[in-house]
Amino acid sequence: MTAHTRPEALTPRPEELTPQEAREIFRKGGSSPTAGWCASHTQVNLITVPADWAYDVLLFCQRNPKPCPVLDVTEPGSFSTALAAGADLRTDVPRYRVWEHGRLVDEPCDVIDVWRKDLVTFLIGCSFTFEAALTDAGIPMRHVDQGRNVAMYRTSRQCRPAGRMRGRLVVSMRPVPADLVGVATRISAMMPSVHGSPIHAGDPGALGIEDLARPDFGDPVDAQPGDVPVFWACGVTPQAALMASRPPFAITHAPGYMLITDARDTDYRLV
């Protein structure tokens, strides 16, 4: 399968699957961006590093909580998480990236062959988590409607460095009808553990983004007349920091290809 298999090629209605059913598809080699999958269930970013880099990553996330909200951290060598019963972190992400000294060396559908006993995994909140709430409020998700991965961009804003970790903020962008930007802001602000409210709406140049048609990660998304580009802090930020900081080895999810957990989106919504 290609890196951009459409969801309907794997299953007719991915939004109706249980997380366990979706993970089974991915464990068997299916690969698709996961926006719109398993409605109302939380998706997470995956960052795996050798134990001697784990404190640097943890400190980086603590200092940059908006793009890097940590939902779970594993013990060294463990490939399970309390967020998803029976999940295997080596196989249940639809597409991984393997890095050596900041260089992408592989983009496989499982990482069993390169897994090590010293690896620590960070599971980081994802903005896909609040998309169901936005949809319920009548806000269209253009990338889901168009069968595309969400568009993600490196910005000109530097994150606060931590130890050996440094890098620029990455954002995800969703075109939102102008009269619904306030609604989108209010709803996502109620979910601070999965990036919360947008960091910017409107002119992408204010973030140092030159061309919305050329995202750094994901796919370009077609806006409709009256849409405003709205930008949220993105969990690909620590992945970009790994690229810049060049640890000797790391594993991440491919941007937009998330681990789908058993947790409910409402678990991360403020009452």
In a domain, 69, yes or no: yes
User: Is 6 a residue whose pLDDT tops 90?
Assistant: no
Closest CA to 194 of 235, 151, 152, 225: 235
Domain count, the chain: 2
Amino acid letter, 266: T
State mean pLDDT over 138-149: 94
CB neighbour class for 225 (10 Å; exposed up to 12, middle 13-18, buried from 19): exposed
In CATH, what number is assigned to the domain containing residue 213?
3.30.2040.10
Q: What is the DSSP string of the chain?
A: --TT--HHHH-S-GGGS-HHHHHHHHHTT-----TTSSTTEEEEEEEEEEHHHHHHHHHHHHH-TTT--EEEEPPTT---BTTBTT--TTTSSS-EEEEETTEEEE--S--GGG--TTEEEEEEE-GGGGHHHHHHTT---HHHHTT-PPEEEEEEEEPPPBTTB--EEEEEEEEEEGGGHHHHHHHHHT-GGGT-S-SEES-GGGGT---TTS-SBS------TTEEEEEEE-TTHHHHHHHHH--S-EEEEPTT-PEEEEEEGGGGS--
pLDDT tens per residue, range 45-61: 999 999 999 999 999 99
Assess whether 155 and 74 both reside in one domain.
Answer: no
User: Is 13 a residue whose pLDDT tops 80?
Assistant: yes
Predicted pLDDT at 141: 96
In a domain, 149, yes or no: yes
Predicted pLDDT at 206: 98
In a domain, 59, yes or no: yes
Could you list the residue range(s) of the whole structural domain that residue 63 is in?
14-127+246-266
User: Is 196 a residue whose pLDDT tops 70?
Assistant: yes
Give the pLDDT band of residue 7 (cuts 50, 70, 90): low
In a domain, 4, yes or no: no
Is 0.85 topped by the overall pTM?
Answer: yes
Give the pLDDT band of residue 3 (cuts 50, 70, 90): very low
| Higher pLDDT among residues 36 and 17, named by residue | 17
What's the mean pLDDT when you consider all of the chain?
Answer: 93
Predicted pLDDT at 183: 97
In CATH, what number is assigned to the domain containing residue 59?
3.40.1640.10
Rounded to whole angstroms, the maximal C-alpha distance in the chain is 52
